[in-house]
């Protein structure tokens, strides 16, 4: 087994196990804080007790009590530190908490509970489940279908984040709990690295080497500060009782490293190509929502319960945006195409299910057992007729909304395929062909080669791409195009036409008149129906070009015939004139 497949299988197993564990934990409402109250760290030695809604405080503890953090034993410090890092405490464990009240110190035993106030809300487990499922889908798509550096960064981000969530969901305390929490924090730091790698790869040519170095330096600086805060802070608190890094304001230091990749995507939008800007808009928008959720996660400015619900919801919204961008706009080189057949199969299944449900309800509620055979036949026929209209409406809506770009592309190119036969100038036909393909397909570059005596010559080009002006007639791609009446994928065929893209034949009456070469969209594969549409356009253009050349040859032939006929008529006129002049010439001649 190749190493790549072994790594993919390992990552898939980790994603599935971590995703299932986090999802089950969240839906069973077992991701609890553990302590029956929350704490707010106000300085390096003091935290304030804050009650949770619908949960009574333990006996002897009052709202607003000051906890002396320096007087706590290490086990109690860990018990307070883990919930601050969203880790999970096991229920039923008792910890001694030293409270400072009215100048006196009280040691109060606190027992962790198995359910907190937020667990009663349905929003939190549903938002957490949505985020877990969407993040798992992103991870699996990137693992198995990702092909470039941006997809690799996406894998690191999604997998590390998901496994970090699973580590925090394991109920533990003491030194094992501290180790799990620090391991989860390391994974969250690695997730930041993956997110930056994805953003930098998407920025692509918008960054020169100097700018890239500055962006990397800024990210690494903020990442290092975040590592000190997330790893050194908990250790300093557990070992020495110094809680200054645990104050909520320091959460901004940990969140700041996510700002760099989001800002990088935003800055690269200005210099991006038109086809890339829509992808960047989705990534910037989803990244901004995710960054806001990270801030709310690390700095709960709304209080613990409300902030928890808000950032979980933001994470779910951001993950949905990322997944939609990957599938719909393919922001990374993921070979997944949401094709018409898949969506229409789903809508057909939905309509059939609705038909079966309505028929069952009508049969139970209205027909009964004594209904006539005619009525029993009329009901499903009527339902089928009405649902057929619904099905057509659904298909039309899906066509215009889900496949809006493909719909416009297909309408425009099929229209041009019909109209190209009425173009009267071959040069104008070539111009229109490359213009229409470049405009509606969104290809970064388009070229058209015409056949010559011993090679193919570059006739038209749109987009910035260094292409050869002449290609030998026995180039492998051209040989394949002459042999097979189908497109050629250039990434599978060594050719002077380039290492990537697709070549479509302009064929007429068995001869290859030219080649339409279409470059690949950035980070995106052409769907089968798109390639079929471009092949159809190339075929119609080839037929139109052949007809125009035949008309030109016929016009030249007619012109030559007309000139020959005119020459023949002039010769006859000259001969007749000469015959008339001969008697006159004979009479004037002397003996």
Tell me, yes or no, whether 417 and 388 share the same domain: no
Asked if residues 449 and 460 have their Cβ atoms less than 8 Å apart, the reply is no
Give a yes or no: residue 395 inside a domain: yes
- Label residue 319 exposed, middle or buried (CB < 10 Å: 0-12, 13-18, 19+): buried
Which one of 294, 329, 364 terminates a domain?
329
Per-residue pLDDT of the chain (591 residues; tens, 9 = 90+): 345 677 888 888 999 999 888 888 776 554 445 788 888 888 888 888 888 777 788 888 888 888 888 888 888 888 888 888 888 888 888 888 888 887 788 888 888 887 544 444 556 677 888 889 899 988 988 888 777 788 889 999 999 999 999 998 888 888 998 999 999 999 999 999 999 999 998 887 677 888 889 999 999 999 999 999 999 989 998 888 888 888 888 888 889 999 999 999 888 887 776 667 777 888 899 999 999 999 988 887 777 667 777 888 899 999 998 888 887 666 555 544 445 555 555 566 565 555 555 555 555 555 555 555 555 556 566 666 666 666 666 666 665 555 666 667 778 888 898 888 898 888 898 999 999 988 888 888 899 999 887 889 889 998 888 888 888 888 888 888 888 878 888 877 888 888 888 999 998 777 888 899 998 876 567 777 788 889 999 989 988 888 888 887 787 888 888 888 888 888 887 777 777 777 766 665 544
**Pairs from 280-283 (Cβ < 8 Å, separation ≥ 24):** 280/202, 280/331, 282/321, 282/324, 282/325, 282/329, 282/331, 283/199, 283/202, 283/322, 283/325, 283/331
Beta strands across the sheet bearing 104-111: 37-41, 46-51, 66-68, 94-101, 104-111
Concatenating the DSSP letter of every residue in 133-189 gives HHHHHHHHHHHHHB-SHHHHHHHHHHHHHHHHHHHHHS---HHHHHHHHHHHHHHHH
Tell me, yes or no, whether 412 and 277 share the same domain: no
Q: So what's the pLDDT on residue 553?
A: 79
Tell me, yes or no, whether 190 and 313 share the same domain: yes
Tell me, yes or no, whether 534 and 492 share the same domain: yes
**Domain carrying residue 312:** 3-33+117-329
Q: Is residue 525 classed as helix, strand or coil in its secondary structure?
A: coil
Give a yes or no: residue 108 inside a domain: no
Tell me, yes or no, whether 185 and 296 share the same domain: yes
Give a yes or no: residue 87 inside a domain: no
The two structure tokens encoding residue 424: 């009267």
Beta bridge partners of 37: 51
Q: So what's the pLDDT on residue 28?
A: 59
The span from the CA of 27 to the CA of 22, in Å, is: 9
Give per-residue burial for 177-214: e unless 16+ CB within 10 Å, then b: bbebbbebbbbbbbbbbbbbbbbbbbbbebbeeeeeee
Which residue in this structure is represented by tokens 């409300």?
Answer: 306
Q: Is residue 122 classed as helix, strand or coil in its secondary structure?
A: coil
Tell me, yes or no, whether 216 and 153 share the same domain: yes
Give a yes or no: residue 267 inside a domain: yes
**Alpha helix stretches (DSSP H) within 271-372:** 274-298, 304-324, 340-362
- Eight-state DSSP code of residue 493: S
Asked if residues 507 and 542 have their Cβ atoms less than 8 Å apart, the reply is yes
Which one of 302, 329, 356 terminates a domain?
329
Tell me, yes or no, whether 236 and 262 share the same domain: yes
Give a yes or no: residue 186 inside a domain: yes
Which one of 384, 401, 418 terminates a domain?
401
The span from the CA of 150 to the CA of 331, in Å, is: 9
What CATH number corresponds to the domain at position 442? 3.30.450.40
Asked if residues 199 and 261 have their Cβ atoms less than 8 Å apart, the reply is yes
Q: So what's the pLDDT on residue 385?
A: 61
Q: Please report which helix (H) or strand (E) contains residue 513, including its range.
A: strand 511-518
Give a yes or no: residue 334 inside a domain: no
The closest alpha carbon to 112, from 43, 51, 36, belongs to 36
The two structure tokens encoding residue 223: 């990442």
Tell me, yes or no, whether 287 and 302 share the same domain: yes
The answer to whether the pTM exceeds 0.85 is no
Tell me, yes or no, whether 126 and 274 share the same domain: yes
Tell me, yes or no, whether 286 and 208 share the same domain: yes
Rg (CA), the chain: 37
The two structure tokens encoding residue 356: 């079966």
Structural domain total, the chain: 3
The span from the CA of 11 to the CA of 8, in Å, is: 5
Tell me, yes or no, whether 371 and 482 share the same domain: no
Q: Please report which helix (H) or strand (E) contains residue 109, including its range.
A: strand 104-111
Task: Report CA-CA distances (Å) from 460 to 224, 428, 514.
Answer: 52, 11, 11
Tell me, yes or no, whether 293 and 384 share the same domain: no
Give a yes or no: residue 379 inside a domain: yes
Give a yes or no: residue 177 inside a domain: yes
């Amino acid at each position: 087994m190749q190493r790549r497949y072994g790594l993919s299988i390992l990552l898939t197993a980790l994603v599935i196990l971590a995703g299932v564990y986090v999802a089950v934990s969240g839906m069973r409402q077992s991701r609890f804080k553990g302590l029956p109250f929350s704490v707010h760290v106000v300085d390096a030695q003091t935290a304030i007790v804050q009650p949770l809604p619908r949960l009574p405080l333990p006996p002897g503890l009052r709202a607003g009590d000051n906890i002396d953090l320096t007087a706590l034993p290490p086990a109690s410090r860990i018990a307070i530190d883990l919930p601050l890092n969203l880790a999970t405490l096991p229920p039923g464990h008792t910890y001694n908490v030293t409270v400072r009240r009215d100048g006196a110190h009280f040691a109060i035993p606190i027992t962790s509970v198995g359910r907190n106030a937020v667990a009663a809300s349905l929003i939190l487990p549903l938002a957490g489940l949505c985020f877990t499922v969407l993040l798992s889908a992103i991870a699996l798509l990137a693992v198995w279908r990702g092909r470039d550096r941006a997809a690799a960064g996406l894998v690191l981000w999604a997998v590390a984040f998901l496994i970090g969530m699973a580590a925090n969901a394991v109920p533990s305390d003491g030194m094992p709990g501290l180790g799990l929490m620090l391991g989860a924090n390391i994974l969250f730091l690695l997730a930041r690295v993956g997110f930056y790698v994805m953003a930098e790869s998407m920025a692509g040519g918008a960054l020169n080497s100097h700018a890239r170095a500055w962006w990397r330096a800024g990210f690494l600086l903020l990442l290092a500060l975040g590592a000190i805060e997330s790893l050194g802070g908990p250790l300093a608190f557990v070992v020495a009782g110094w809680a200054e890094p645990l104050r909520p304001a320091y959460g901004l230091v940990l969140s700041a490293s996510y700002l760099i990749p989001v800002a990088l995507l935003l800055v690269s939008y200005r210099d991006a190509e038109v086809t890339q800007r829509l992808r960047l808009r989705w990534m910037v928008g989803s990244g901004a929502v995710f960054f806001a959720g990270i801030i709310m996660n690390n700095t709960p400015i709304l209080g613990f319960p409300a902030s928890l619900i808000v950032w979980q919801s933001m994470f779910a919204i951001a993950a949905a945006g990322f997944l939609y961008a990957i599938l719909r706009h393919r922001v990374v080189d993921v070979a997944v195409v949401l094709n018409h057949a898949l969506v229409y199969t789903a809508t057909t299944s939905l309509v059939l299910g609705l038909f079966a449900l309505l028929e069952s309800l009508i049969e139970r509620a209205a027909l009964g057992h004594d209904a006539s055979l005619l009525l029993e036949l009329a009901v499903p026929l009527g339902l089928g007729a009405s649902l057929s209209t619904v099905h057509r409406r659904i298909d039309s809506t899906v066509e215009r909304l889900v496949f809006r770009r493909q719909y416009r592309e297909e309408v425009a190119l099929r229209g041009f395929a019909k109209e190209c036969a009425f173009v009267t100038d071959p040069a104008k036909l070539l111009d229109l062909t490359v213009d229409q393909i470049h405009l509606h397909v969104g290809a970064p570059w388009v070229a058209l080669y015409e056949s010559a005596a011993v090679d193919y010559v570059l006739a038209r080009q749109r987009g910035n791409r260094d292409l050869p002006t002449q290609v030998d007639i026995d180039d492998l791609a051209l040989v394949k195009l002459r042999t097979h009446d189908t497109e050629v994928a250039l990434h599978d065929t060594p050719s002077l036409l380039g290492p990537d893209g697709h070549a479509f034949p302009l064929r007429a009456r068995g001869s290859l008149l030219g080649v339409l070469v279409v470059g690949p969209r950035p980070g995106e594969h052409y769907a089968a129906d798109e390639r079929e549409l471009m092949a159809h356009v190339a075929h119609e253009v080839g037929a139109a070009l052949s007809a125009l050349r035949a008309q030109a040859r016929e016009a030249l032939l007619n012109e030559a015939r007309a000139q020959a006929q005119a020459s023949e008529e002039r010769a006859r006129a000259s001969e007749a004139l000469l015959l008339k002049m001969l008697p006159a010439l004979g009479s004037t001649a002397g003996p």
